[in-house]
Chain A
């Protein structure tokens, strides 16, 4: 009997029941729809911070004394960490798009010679400005750092060359978010936060509610298998999640005029993976909790670090190493990179593949764990 392991009928029966119950519980239902709107309103303002050691790629066509001086000054300043000391233009672009570096700094071929001649050569700095809070301080101090570096090197016999104003003509490209609008960063991130909180809380309550009301006892003597139980409880919320995404994307377009640069289909696929991961986490909580109150507490003790450490509240690169490590195992961290990449940078599958993979691995691991933890008895 195939029914032994998984029965589509039982799964559908459970799902139908959840839908009916959801429909009857008007309060919860309207909360699930209004929470995204509320959070959109709340997070219109972002929290600022001062991240340092931002990864930087250098395109150095000069290799002269002055380009070296500028590079080392950048590093000494603490704001920049040279991740790729000498790369091609394409490579640098790829790194920026994948989010591996925050800045690209390009020195033209005869940079040192022209500085020595006092010609104020151009220096191009491109920044990944999806998260303006992450780059603003680093960019703000840029011209001072460069001026100081060249000033020191233009002492002695070359002191006469010291120009009165800036020794280079600095060009700044804020890529992906030219105006440096904070909402650009926050609003796509909200998709992640809203999905995460609704999904984890709702599923955490799902099984616990059955236990608290005593219906679990009747359910456990039916032939329902753990996998059917999990999928039956989870599927209705996937649909709710998709509605929430639509609400936020629409609000992003209409209220904050944030364009969707990437592929909507790819975004939806990633959202589904993320929703699945969160539902599995909620399901684990609902297996462990005895009461709905406990389930609620577990859910919020998971959501708090998710929101704080994922790069939603504070720039990820501004956090200390241990916090970044913690952030790395939170699904929201990976999802935020994906969603910002797709919405703001127009990233394709290759750019986001490794964050998507990380999400998938987390999902699988958590789902397997939850099936293991599921108790088929009352004790």
Chain B
């Protein structure tokens, strides 16, 4: 399968700080790749390097077959990049914004195209409203519409659904899958686990280092985490939480409504630690597989344990699990 994005050793420094460290990433054409990682892990910086907005300090690679260092202009023509911060003109109307980006991309029949787009979004009746006066979610949807106007072959989306309601998010993901079926490649950063699970593959970044990359199942498996679920009434769960917190052999305790996720990378130690609690009244135990979120939190904790503040030289890969 041909690769839409293929970069290796990508590094970016701001002053002394290494913000993206030796990142290698391959995204096959036609795939939707989720890009996850805690705040400040370097997702935005990576996306900017991929579309030629930032010059990498190290590493090389290709986007859509073009060298990211020397052929930025060619990449820009075929990439749709949606910025994390709203970057349309607040002092232009919705219609004027779309028309501007359509013209700048040299698209034919701007008027018709803009009208179609706005009608699809359901914004046609509000076309003369200033972009500044849109609600947060609508801004996101408008920005997304603006960056797919020119039918790019690769979409780089930086938290496109932040603040968007569930229905609109579902529509949005349906649209993404439709576009991907037509051969469009998508790299989308998000903090939502449900969105991550809708991707063909996910890449997880922490402190500028790519920790893991693969399908949801692969990522969960690579975390090496074993989890157990305890459900019961809130008071019993709260007592159990206190008892388990900091207990040797238990690495993770997280409350989820009427349940508690308890996990560890050492299945045997976990079993031993939990044995005394197995017969607590009111608590029902079930051996659920870890969720994606459990896996990520565990991966993150692993990095903090071994690398401190993320300035280490760790290689991208799953061996941190």
Contacts and interface: CB of A to CB of B under 8 A. Distances in A.
B106 A7 contact: yes
Interface string A200-217: 000000000000011111
A174 interface: no
A376 B103 contact: no
B83 A214 contact: yes
Nearest to B156: A221
A9 B106 contact: yes
B76 A221 contact: yes
Contacts of B91: 20-21, 24-25
B89 A215 contact: yes
Contact of B53 (A12, A25, A214, A217): A217
Interface string B40-80: 00000000100111110000000000000000110011010
A94 interface: no
Interface in B80-115: 81, 83, 85-92, 96, 100-101, 103-106
Interface size on B, as a range, is 20 to 34
Interface string A13-46: 1101100110011000000000000000000000
Nearest to A228: B104
Given A20-B92, A221-B51, A376-B72, A13 B104 contact: yes
A64 interface: no
Which range contains the number of A residues in contact with the other chain? 20 to 34
A254 interface: no
A222 B146 CA distance: 11
A14 B53 contact: no
Nearest to A220: B53
A377 interface: yes
Contacts, number: 78
A158 interface: no
A3 interface: yes
B89 A17 contact: yes
B104 A223 contact: yes
A116 to B, nearest CB: 81
B87 A17 contact: no
Given A20-B92, A223-B77, A377-B55, A215 B106 contact: no
Contacts of B51: 221
Contacts of A13: 100, 103-104
Contacts of B48: 378
B143 to A, nearest CB: 8
Contact of B103 (A10, A20, A25): A10
A218 B87 contact: yes
Nearest to B100: A17
A227 interface: no
A213 B91 CA distance: 11
B279 to A, nearest CB: 58
A218 B89 CA distance: 10
B54 A377 contact: yes
Contacts of B77: 223
A25 B73 CA distance: 33
B90 A10 contact: no
Contacts of B92: 17, 20-21
A376 B146 CA distance: 21
B105 to A, nearest CB: 6
Contacts of A25: 91
A9 B90 contact: no
A379 interface: yes
30 contacts: A3-B106, A7-B106, A9-B106, A10-B103, A10-B106, A12-B103, A13-B100, A13-B104, A14-B104, A17-B89, A17-B92, A17-B100, A21-B91, A21-B92, A214-B83, A214-B86, A215-B87, A217-B87, A218-B81, A220-B76, A221-B51, A221-B52, A221-B53, A221-B76, A221-B79, A222-B104, A376-B72, A377-B55, A379-B54, A379-B55
Interface of A: 3, 7, 9-10, 12-14, 16-17, 20-21, 24-25, 213-218, 220-224, 376-379
Given A3-B106, A7-B106, A221-B52, 6 more contacts: A9-B103, A10-B106, A216-B87, A218-B101, A224-B104, A378-B48
